[in-house]
Structure 1
């Protein structure tokens, strides 16, 4: 079940197209993109300064505490065209962050480069295709998606692409066929040998509309995951799912799937419950809320264990109080059980809390303050940590 190494990066780039501007949530199968409004081409320049501290319960040569002030700068670009036939959007973000006191094991300077591109095309009244693409080069863990490790492990490249074709066989019955490719590669050789992998997911969905706002769904998926540097944990899963999609309004939608995952790897073979839920709430540009949850087998941080079964959920909310002041907040939580392997089983809880406020000084100049707190509690005390990050920034847009 091995892919050539060259295919790892080629597969991520070959299927070009879209995704939300955050790590691709590969579990939840809503890849329509937000095409409700046109967004003119907008550029932004930002500068930020802050303080970052991370403390492990039991420091080791590979997991060391750090605390440092940092300076950060970046440039971004966004554009969206809500064309009725071919809506599309794109976003680009480039940045650099320098830690004044350095980070043990790594360089003092880290780089961020993120690009997202979403597109859909209505070929006919019955046939629609869409594609979602996201690629990021960064150094920050993402608790929500499980694509990266929970621990701070330096720079990595993560890519995600979903292509799907939908066909309406009648006014009520439709099918959607999709192909998703995602993968991750770390610069650190120790982490890379354990974590670098590529996953391919093929899905076939059958949908029946009970009304204009509510549809029932049945879905089959097949996923294969290949680790680049190891042969002992390559895995495949079959999914049998049912669910419902509901739109409370044009700007409020939800999706739910539940069923069984038939998991098999070189170390284990299990059948377990699988479920996922997603909710999106958009009101003009004043209030935005997104919530998701999923439970199933996870590919990250397997290490010497046979399997990792995880529940993940997250909520992000932003609100424009008035013309000048906006607030935002988010929470991500993951509960994981690691089974088998040479040692005892391990249970982990990870939590990320974030909040921020921004003030529009001028039409194209804003100030903001941010704070985030993350913690990992584990039966393995070597992995436990807590982290605080606070910063002030200024952004100019044009």
Structure 2
């Protein structure tokens, strides 16, 4: 779990934008003792829109941030589990115009698995966050800066090995988001339920073929004109090049139907994970399909999303991390189609001054280009922080 859990709370702090790709699962790689961490951070945040609007205001401000974190993982062979809690607050010295000067974040992650028998395994992954940019993003928020939101995700999975080669996996995923800003909340608050049934056949010890059916329903809490449902028929391959390098690929069709439109379009997703002697990790994700975020007055949104995060431990004291995520979106209906491109670049460096004291510096740049000039913006965020762990 150490790898996956800590990645969510630290290593992938800049992997924002992958709304359609959410993976809070655990790999339970090793035990992690109960660890407390205290972080203080200072930085500068600048957001500039191309066109001024009463609802989209620029801001430039220094900020100070503090936080408390707790992690624990038990890699028990039968029932591994892990938990993490992260609490914090951020204060913008010069304010943010549209919102208050203070923002708060509270995140909880809990993952558990249980080997019922040699054939049967169940697992559950839970994640809940109350936050605002530029804190760690789950990718659940919209592209634009919209203040505080509450996002929750839970995945329950049952897998059964019918033979040495053939297995099935059944899962139920529930996730939802709600915003404090009433203008955003009325358009974006929603709850989604995804049911998936996968059939897998192992060709070799390293390669498996998969066939999968999924059904997703999305219900908007404050509106009834864009509620939707999707049916997915997918096929794919899971392959392990080595114990440290794995990949997964799915491709097929998605039948999408809402109160405004219906269509059948290609759907696909890919994931790749690479670990080198605990010194270098690389994770790449990608997806193409219908997206429920930021529909607003449009009938549907079809998106291509991809992201890459790399962490490298240069020495025992010095670590580097970087990330890039890109999203292409096509909004249909609403008086005309709109195309958007969003890009997020990030980089960071950390230095272990003492055994339990580290210093880090981060920088991120995001930009949105859109046919709708009111949505276009660019943003810069730079900060330095110090973390003490016990």
Distance in 2 between the 1:299 and 1:84 partners?
Answer: 38
SS of aligned partner of 1:153:
coil
SS of aligned partner of 2:312:
strand
1:261 aligns with 2:249: no
Unaligned runs of 5+ in 1: 1-17
Corresponding residue pairs, total: 380
| 1:211 aligned to which of 186, 191, 204 | 204
Q: Match for residue 33 of structure 2?
A: 40
Distance change (3 Å), C-alpha of 1:193 and 1:110: same
1:362 aligns with 2:349: no
Distance in 2 between the 1:335 and 1:154 partners?
Answer: 23
Distance in 1 between the 2:343 and 2:28 partners?
Answer: 31
SS of aligned partner of 1:149:
coil
Q: Report the CA distance between 1:30 and its aligned residue.
A: 6.7
Q: Match for residue 364 of structure 2?
A: 372
Q: Match for residue 163 of structure 1?
A: 156
Distance in 2 between the 1:354 and 1:251 partners?
Answer: 25
Question: What is the TM-score with the length of structure 1 in the denominator?
Answer: 0.92
| 1:116 aligned to which of 103, 109, 132 | 109
| 1:88 aligned to which of 81, 88, 96 | 81
Q: Match for residue 386 of structure 2?
A: 394
What pairs up with 1:86-165 in 2 under 5 angstroms? 86-140=79-133, 147-165=140-158
1:189 aligns with 2:193: no
What pairs up with 1:240-255 in 2 under 5 angstroms? 240-255=233-248
| 2:64 aligned to which of 61, 71, 93 | 71
Q: Report the CA distance between 1:148 and its aligned residue.
A: 1.5
SS of aligned partner of 1:21:
helix
SS of aligned partner of 2:46:
strand
Bigger CA drift: 274-283 or 367-376?
Answer: 274-283
Distance change (3 Å), C-alpha of 1:30 and 1:325: closer
Contact 1:306 1:340 (8 Å CA) reproduced:
yes
1:338 aligns with 2:331: yes
Distance in 2 between the 1:143 and 1:234 partners?
Answer: 28
Distance change (3 Å), C-alpha of 1:27 and 1:162: farther
Unaligned runs of 5+ in 2: 10-15
What pairs up with 1:317-328 in 2 under 5 angstroms? 317-328=310-321
Distance in 1 between the 2:211 and 2:342 partners?
Answer: 32
SS of aligned partner of 2:215:
strand
Distance in 2 between the 1:179 and 1:354 partners?
Answer: 33
Distance in 1 between the 2:196 and 2:48 partners?
Answer: 42
Distance in 2 between the 1:31 and 1:157 partners?
Answer: 16
Contact 2:17 2:344 (8 Å CA) reproduced:
no
Q: Deviations over 1:181-223 (max 9, x none)?
A: 0000000001000000000000000000001111000000000
Q: Deviations over 1:290-331 (max 9, x none)?
A: 110000000001011111000001111111111110000011
What is the aligned-residue RMSD (CA, Å)?
2.0
1:384 aligns with 2:371: no
Distance in 1 between the 2:6 and 2:384 partners?
Answer: 28
